[in-house]
């Protein structure tokens, strides 16, 4: 068995957490490749080391004194090193970091040091080889991740390493400058390492016992999902369900490697398995619910729209030319609605509207603001009749007006648009009808 294990920041926030991680790794011979995040929060009001690094670097950029801020970061690592009684000094590393900050080596360089240093500590603690991610994860000069090139370099490098620690979150551009993935990107590193070593499984250790059916900020104690397919997860992640970085699915998906989300604080829990295909039936009709606020709908109406070939293309080109991606596109005979993210749309609103006017000469354009979208996702929905009916009955019973319905052609999801103020109630109503009532 060859396993890649990634540990999130809260799993590595203190020496005590490191010890739990050490036990987990040592309890299974197969856990040969370890991807650590930077130390996260030790308690709710604590600051993640990554954020401390960003703040510290900002001082350096402003030409202000950053010695104290950097010393506070070193203290976080020293606390871990002392707690683990390691024979390790990071003084030399911090001297280099100080120089690089003063020379303004870049925000990405700054942020990446959190993982880099934690990787050194982890490798020392476990007695594993340290492989700097800058050697094995490659970006082009525009900062785009080069997946295939990375895979080739990483596979070759790790073939020589029986057991290794590869820090998460960053890599390097071809000119050697450090580049990070977006926030939470250590998940992506873990997935890339799993693909490169042809792992049997990619274990992603965090502080929850798996992926939850619904957002715990809305539903009290939601049930965890036992098995979910990549596709279902992608639908949910896209709609805001967070546990795993959105891009972490792709590298392992290519190889069909399952991801297992596990809880460092409850290692006996099975967590969630994310797989390509499964014959396991979901416990409930739906696998999960996720949603987001902050959408705007642009409703375009024109008599005889149905016979005007190219109408949709013209409307969409008004968005495309302004670099706005659309989310959903429900249509009627003489109406077409475009759902977009408010944040992306708001600045360019007037330009888009005037282009739509110019290209299509519609009878009317209306804007509907403050909308939320909810995705009800489940591979079992396809086989079951009446799922949509149950969703809408539940919403109707809770006096929630549905603004939009969109069932993807895969029948994997039903997307519902509601007013933002109805959002939480809508999620609760859907959870109740499918989960609470199916228990
Ligand atoms: N430490 C980085 C962050 O806070 C990356 C990660 O944890 O995955 O976003």
**94-137 pLDDT, tens per residue?**
999 999 999 999 999 999 999 999 999 999 999 999 999 999 99
Assess whether the C-beta atom of 258 lies below 6 angstroms from ligand 1.
Answer: no
Assess whether the C-beta atom of 39 lies below 6 angstroms from ligand 1.
Answer: no
Q: In whole angstroms, give the CA distance from residue 344 to residue 251.
A: 28
* pLDDT(429) > 90: yes
Regarding beta strands 31-36 and 3-7, do their DSSP bridges make them parallel or antiparallel, or are they unpaired?
parallel
- Across-strand partners of 168? none
Task: Report, as an integer, the average pLDDT of 217-229.
Answer: 93
Atom of ligand 1 lying closest to residue 186 CA: 8
* pLDDT(240) > 90: no
Q: Are 1 and 30 in contact (CB under 8 A)?
A: yes
Q: For the chain, how long is the longest CA-to-CA vector?
A: 78
Q: Are 328 and 341 in contact (CB under 8 A)?
A: no
Atom of ligand 1 lying closest to residue 115 CA: 1
Q: In whole angstroms, give the CA distance from residue 172 to residue 8.
A: 21
* pLDDT(394) > 90: yes
Name the pLDDT band for 75 (thresholds 50, 70, 90).
Answer: very high
Most confidently modeled of 15-24, 304-313, 406-415?
Answer: 15-24
Name the pLDDT band for 384 (thresholds 50, 70, 90).
Answer: confident
**Predicted local distance difference test score (pLDDT) of residue 350:** 97
Assess whether the C-beta atom of 6 lies below 6 angstroms from ligand 1.
Answer: no
Assess whether the C-beta atom of 37 lies below 6 angstroms from ligand 1.
Answer: yes
263 secondary structure, DSSP code:
E
Length of the chain counted residue by residue: 439
- CB under 8 Å to 75, separation ≥6 — which residues? none
Please, is 364 exposed, middle or buried when counting C-beta atoms within 10 Å of its C-beta (0-12, 13-18, 19+)?
A: exposed
**Predicted local distance difference test score (pLDDT) of residue 30:** 98
* pLDDT(279) > 90: no
Instruction: Look up the pTM and report it.
Output: 0.86
**Mean pLDDT for all residues in the chain:** 95
* pLDDT(150) > 90: yes
Assess whether the C-beta atom of 264 lies below 6 angstroms from ligand 1.
Answer: no
- Minimum mean pLDDT range among 24-33, 109-118, 265-274, 302-311: 302-311
Our mutation pick for probing the ligand 1 site, out of 12, 17, 36, 38, counting the most ligand atoms within 8 A of Cβ, is 38
Assess whether the C-beta atom of 48 lies below 6 angstroms from ligand 1.
Answer: yes
CATH class of 3-275: alpha beta
222 secondary structure, DSSP code:
P
Helical H segments across 147-274, by residue range: 147-159, 186-196, 230-238, 249-255
**Predicted local distance difference test score (pLDDT) of residue 177:** 96
Name the pLDDT band for 183 (thresholds 50, 70, 90).
Answer: very high
- CB under 8 Å to 106, separation ≥6 — which residues? 177, 178
**Predicted local distance difference test score (pLDDT) of residue 52:** 98
Name the pLDDT band for 193 (thresholds 50, 70, 90).
Answer: very high
Assess whether the C-beta atom of 186 lies below 6 angstroms from ligand 1.
Answer: yes
Q: Are 291 and 427 in contact (CB under 8 A)?
A: yes
223 secondary structure, DSSP code:
P
Q: Is the dihedral of CA 234, 238, 244, 249 positive or negative?
A: positive
SS (H, E, C) 269-296: CCCEEEECCCCCCCCCCCCEEEEEEEEE
Atom of ligand 1 lying closest to residue 51 CA: 4
Name the pLDDT band for 281 (thresholds 50, 70, 90).
Answer: confident
Assess whether the C-beta atom of 38 lies below 6 angstroms from ligand 1.
Answer: yes
**Predicted local distance difference test score (pLDDT) of residue 324:** 97
* pLDDT(415) > 90: yes
Q: In whole angstroms, give the CA distance from residue 333 to residue 306.
A: 5
- Minimum mean pLDDT range among 132-141, 339-348, 357-366, 430-439: 430-439
Q: In whole angstroms, give the CA distance from residue 323 to residue 141.
A: 22
Assess whether the C-beta atom of 190 lies below 6 angstroms from ligand 1.
Answer: no
* pLDDT(243) > 80: no
- CB under 8 Å to 291, separation ≥6 — which residues? 239, 240, 372, 373, 374, 375, 423, 426, 427
**Predicted local distance difference test score (pLDDT) of residue 7:** 98
Report in angstroms the alpha-carbon separations of 418 from 95, 198, 289, 401. 54, 43, 14, 7
CA of 69 to the centre of ligand 1 (A): 19
- Minimum mean pLDDT range among 30-34, 242-246, 345-349: 242-246
* pLDDT(146) > 90: yes
Assess whether the C-beta atom of 183 lies below 6 angstroms from ligand 1.
Answer: yes
288-438 — its CATH code?
3.30.2130.10
Helical H segments across 49-198, by residue range: 49-61, 67-84, 91-102, 107-126, 133-136, 147-159, 186-196
**Predicted local distance difference test score (pLDDT) of residue 176:** 94
Domain-by-domain residue ranges, the chain?
3-275, 288-438
Report in angstroms the alpha-carbon separations of 146 from 153, 202, 416. 11, 21, 36
CA of 38 to the centre of ligand 1 (A): 6
Task: Report, as an integer, the average pLDDT of 36-58.
Answer: 97
Q: Is the dihedral of CA 229, 231, 233, 236 positive or negative?
A: negative
58 secondary structure, DSSP code:
H
- Minimum mean pLDDT range among 161-170, 314-323, 328-337: 328-337
Q: How many CA atoms lie within 13 A of 300 on its CB side?
A: 27
Report in angstroms the alpha-carbon separations of 316 from 81, 350, 380, 404, 425. 56, 15, 33, 19, 32
Our mutation pick for probing the ligand 1 site, out of 111, 137, 188, 248, counting the most ligand atoms within 8 A of Cβ, is 111
Percent pLDDT > 90 in the chain is: 85
**Predicted local distance difference test score (pLDDT) of residue 57:** 98
């Amino acid at each position: 068995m060859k396993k890649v294990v990634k540990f999130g920041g809260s799993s590595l926030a203190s020496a005590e957490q490191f010890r739990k991680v050490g036990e987990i790794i040592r309890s299974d011979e197969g856990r040969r490749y370890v991807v650590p995040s930077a130390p996260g929060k030790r308690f709710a009001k604590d600051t993640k080391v990554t954020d401390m690094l960003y703040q510290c670097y900002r001082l350096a950029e402003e030409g202000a004194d950053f010695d104290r801020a950097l010393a506070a970061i070193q203290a976080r690592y020293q606390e871990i090193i002392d707690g683990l009684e390691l024979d390790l000094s990071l003084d030399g590393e911090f001297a280099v970091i100080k120089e690089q900050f003063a020379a303004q080596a870049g925000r990405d360089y700054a942020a990446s040091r959190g993982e880099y240093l934690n990787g050194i500590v982890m490798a020392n603690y476990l007695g594993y080889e340290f492989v700097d991610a800058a050697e094995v994860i490659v970006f082009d000069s525009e900062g785009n991740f080069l997946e295939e090139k990375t895979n080739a370099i990483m596979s070759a490098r790790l073939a020589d390493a029986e057991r290794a620690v590869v820090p998460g979150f960053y890599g390097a551009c071809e000119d050697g400058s450090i580049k990070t993935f977006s926030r939470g990107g250590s998940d992506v590193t873990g997935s890339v390492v799993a693909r490169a070593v042809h792992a049997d499984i990619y274990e992603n250790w965090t502080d929850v016992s798996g992926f939850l059916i619904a957002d715990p900020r809305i539903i009290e104690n939601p049930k965890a999902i036992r098995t979910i397919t990549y596709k279902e997860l992608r639908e949910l992640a896209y709609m805001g369900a967070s546990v795993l970085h959105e891009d972490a699915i792709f590298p392992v998906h290519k190889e069909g490697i399952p991801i297992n989300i596990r809880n460092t604080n409850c290692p006996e829990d099975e967590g969630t398995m994310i797989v390509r295909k499964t014959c396991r039936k979901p416990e409930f009709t739906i696998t999960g619910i996720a949603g987001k606020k902050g959408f705007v709908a642009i409703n375009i109406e024109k008599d005889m729209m149905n016979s005007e070939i190219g109408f949709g293309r013209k409307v969409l080109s008004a968005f495309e030319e302004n670099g706005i991606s659309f989310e959903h596109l429900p249509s009627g005979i003489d109406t077409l609605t475009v759902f977009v993210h408010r944040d992306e749309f708001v600045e360019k609103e007037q330009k888009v509207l005037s282009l739509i006017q110019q290209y299509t000469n519609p009878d009317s354009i209306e804007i509907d603001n403050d909308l939320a979208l909810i995705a009800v996702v489940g591979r079992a929905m396809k086989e079951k009749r009446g799922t949509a009916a149950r969703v809408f009955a539940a919403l109707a019973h809770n006096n929630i007006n549905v603004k939009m319905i969109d069932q993807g052609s895969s029948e994997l999801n039903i997307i519902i648009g509601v007013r933002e103020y109805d959002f939480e109630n809508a999620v609760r109503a859907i959870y109740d009808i499918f989960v609470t009532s199916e228990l």
